[in-house]
Amino acid sequence: MEHQNNTNNNAAASVINQLNAECEGRWSFRIIEHEFRDNEIIVLGELTINNAVRQQFGQATIAFDTDDTAPPSMAAALGNAADDALIQCAHTFGIKESSTHHDNGATTVKQTAEQTPPKNGNGNVERALTSKQLAAIYGLGKSKGHSQQDIIQLTQERFGKEPMDLLVTEASEIIGDFINNNGKDTES
């Protein structure tokens, strides 16, 4: 079975080409964790450029043949999820898959990697949620009767982003609300 998302593969190839060109091969990417959930896979990827490290989640749907005679391609789904994580990590460094040039004084990948990570109002570095937090959000939500789509809608309404894009502090708020409010009213 072929990769289901050639657009994502092309975007990842574009990101890799930009990283190679601008960082002269001095970058690395790895998958920290992966988890299969129903018909999807979620991975936590880590991109390192000049000692700056960024982690982001990636996801892909596991494709099943319409006649269910062939097994799903787990490898293709894992590859697509890894591509997605790489692209998401690259975005945190200012790399967009569609751009190939950094003209007109735009910030380069090297410059972005040398900047300090974003900080919150307390001066602490903001970090992406952990895989355990993501699992807790979905697990607690499910135990309280919320569907995956309900949880996505909740985080989009509350923080303007999907669960896998939350920061540690935002994820902690959602988890705390599920625990403290029995998942009934998670709105602030």
pLDDT at residue 104, rounded to an integer: 44
With cut-offs at 50, 70 and 90, classify the pLDDT of residue 3: very low
Alpha-helical runs (H) found in the chain: 6-23, 74-92, 109-114, 131-143, 148-159, 168-180
Tens of pLDDT, residue by residue over 154-164, are 999 999 988 87
- Is 41 in a helix, a strand, or coil? strand
Pairing of strands 40-49, 52-61: antiparallel
Which range is least confidently modeled, 26-40, 52-66, 78-92? 52-66
Q: For the chain, first and last CA: distance in Å? A: 45
Q: Quick one: pLDDT at residue 9?
A: 66
Does domain 6-114 match CATH 3.40.1360? no
Q: How confident is the model at residue 98 (pLDDT cuts 50, 70, 90)?
A: low
- Tell me the per-residue pLDDT of 111-131, one tens digit each, with 9 for 90 and over: 444 444 455 565 555 677 777
CATH 3.30.160 domain residues, the chain: 6-114
Average pLDDT over residues 164-171: 84
Amino acid letter, residue 18: Q
- Global pTM? 0.52
The answer to whether the CB of 61 falls within 8 A of the CB of 76 is: no
pLDDT exceeds 50 at position 5: no
One-letter amino acid for residue 156 of the chain: Q
**22-56 pLDDT, tens digit each:** 877 788 999 998 888 878 889 999 999 888 888 99
Rounded percentage of the chain residues whose pLDDT exceeds 90: 13
pLDDT over 70 at 187, yes or no: no
Of 114, 128, 118, 126, the residue nearest 26 (C-alpha)? 114
> Across the chain, what does the average pLDDT equal?
75
**pLDDT number for residue 30:** 93
- Check residue 102 and give its pLDDT: 42
pLDDT reported for residue 47: 92
